[in-house]
Amino acid sequence: MQANRLNLTGKMLRRATPAVGLAALLLVAGCRQDMQDQPKLIPQRGSEMFADHRGARPQVLNTVARGQLREDSYFYTGVIQGANGYREEQDLMPFPVTMEVLKRGQERFNIYCTPCHSRVGNGLGEIVERGYKPAANFHDQVRRAQPVSHYFYVMTHGYGAMPDYSAQLAPVDRWAVAAYIRALQLSQAATLQDVPAGVQVKSLSEVAAEHNLPASYAQPWALPSATRAQAYPNDTKQGTPAMAPARPADPKISIPASKPAPVAAK
């Protein structure tokens, strides 16, 4: 019985072989190399097509690629060409500031600037708390007196120890953040003259009393103390920059078993 069945399979195979062979032949014949070898340029590879044998083509002189016409140079640079030949910053937004713009600015600011400048913009962000050069306090007199396009310029080019944010923030976002810095400044230094006519002003303690909030609501803001979790609290060789102040009070966090335990500091 067993032998019979084997015999049958063998016969079937033998009969099927020519059909399989034909199908394979057809498949191979259908596969031409055109797709593989199409005349295309591969990035950063040479090419026989151009005299200089470069696949990557330089921009054509005196032309502007579609979508790259930066006609509004103030919008893209934050400076204008002054009469004295120097570039000048301006206290001027290149587009109207709406609530939407401020919200976008706040969101971007909280993502990219707070690590160093803190949410309130006083320059004492977490990274500074850990030993980075103190970032600018946007509420000091020097910073408040700066024109709004200065903030755009600083984000575009960096400033001293501060890296630039031109890769992370498109020009329109840099302006939104600049506008939000102004809003932050106003939040701490507004005067009665800044209030539009006809608008009633209440003191914060009045607001607190009306809404049953604790009296501390009306007190000036303060940052929470810097006792936070830190990966390798007392080990200056791992994780913590050597320049960071020692923080013996920092709580130790437990390190997952998959990671090697830190070497104990001596």
Nearest Cα residue to 156 out of 146, 168, 145: 168
Counting contacts by CB under 6 A, is residue 170 touching ligand HEC?
no
Q: What is the DSSP string of 188-215?
A: HH--GGGSPTT-----HHHHHHHTT--G
Q: How far is CA 11 from the centre of its chain?
A: 69
Between 132 and 208, CB nearer to ligand HEC: 132
Nearest-angstrom CA–CA distance, 133 and 136: 9
Between 139 and 247, CB nearer to ligand HEC: 139
Query: Smallest distance from the beta carbon of 122 to ligand HEC, in angstroms?
Result: 12
- Contact status, residue 115 vs residue 127, Cβ threshold 8 Å: yes
Nearest-angstrom CA–CA distance, 118 and 110: 8
Counting contacts by CB under 6 A, is residue 179 touching ligand HEC?
no
Query: Which residue number is nearest to ligand HEC in terms of Cβ?
Result: 160
Query: Smallest distance from the beta carbon of 230 to ligand HEC, in angstroms?
Result: 18
* Among positions 55, 94, 115, 262, the unique one binding ligand HEC when judged by CB under 6 A: 115
How many C-beta atoms lie closer than 10 Å to residue 259's C-beta?
8
Return the residues of window 134-163 that contact ligand HEC according to CB under 6 A.
135-136, 151, 154-155, 159-162
Query: Smallest distance from the beta carbon of 147 to ligand HEC, in angstroms?
Result: 11
Beta bridge partners of 162: 159
Between 54 and 130, CB nearer to ligand HEC: 130
Counting contacts by CB under 6 A, is residue 175 touching ligand HEC?
no
Counting contacts by CB under 6 A, is residue 167 touching ligand HEC?
no
Helix (H, G, I), strand (E, B) or coil at 171: helix
Nearest Cα residue to 96 out of 75, 68, 70: 75
Nearest Cα residue to 3 out of 144, 11, 224: 11
Query: Smallest distance from the beta carbon of 129 to ligand HEC, in angstroms?
Result: 12
Counting contacts by CB under 6 A, is residue 120 touching ligand HEC?
no
Return the residues of window 69-108 that contact ligand HEC according to CB under 6 A.
none
Counting contacts by CB under 6 A, is residue 182 touching ligand HEC?
no
Nearest-angstrom CA–CA distance, 130 and 246: 9
Between 126 and 208, CB nearer to ligand HEC: 126
Which residue carries 């309130």 as its tokens? 120
Between 77 and 165, CB nearer to ligand HEC: 165
- Contact status, residue 115 vs residue 124, Cβ threshold 8 Å: no
Query: Smallest distance from the beta carbon of 196 to ligand HEC, in angstroms?
Result: 27
Counting contacts by CB under 6 A, is residue 177 touching ligand HEC?
yes
Residues that bind ligand HEC (CB under 6 A): 112-113, 115-117, 127, 132-133, 135-136, 151, 154-155, 159-162, 165, 177
